[in-house]
Amino acid sequence: MTRADAPKVLEYTWWGKDIRWELEAFGDGTRLTLWHNIDRRFISWGAAGWHICFDVLDRLLSGTPIGRIVGGEAMKFGGWQRLVAEYAKQFGIETPNWPPQAAQKS
């Protein structure tokens, strides 16, 4: 844990990478902003992984939980390849041609 400013900011290091969560009032709700310094070679994979995490959170909060999907399980998730391709296109990068096992070891 590098910073905890409840209820607005939480920062920590996870697997050698910095992560920051910010909450702020937004209209009648709350905006969540996530910052994560991901190696550019894996940015589309990281974005796809976080996308799946937020889908899981959305389902939990809506009362229709689908359970935990993390790490290698996220790569087996039905929409994984589509998300990786969409984020790569959005970021203007090519997706790595390595097998999923390479990402788990890095």
Each residue of 52-105: pLDDT tens digit? 989 999 999 999 999 888 778 888 877 888 999 999 999 999 876 655 544 444
Torsion of CA 58, 61, 65, 67, to 10 degrees: 70
- pTM over 0.85, yes/no: no
User: For residue 12, what is the enclosing H or E element?
Assistant: strand 9-14
Inter-residue contact 27 to 11 (CB < 8 Å): no
What distance in Å separates the CA atoms of residue 96 and residue 38, rounded to the nearest whole number? 14
For the packed helices 80-91 and 43-61, what is the interaxial angle rounded to 10 degrees? Answer: 120
Query: How confident is the model over 14-49, as pLDDT tens digits?
Result: 888 999 999 999 999 999 999 999 888 889 999 998
What distance in Å separates the CA atoms of residue 54 and residue 98, rounded to the nearest whole number? 25
What distance in Å separates the CA atoms of residue 98 and residue 84, rounded to the nearest whole number? 13
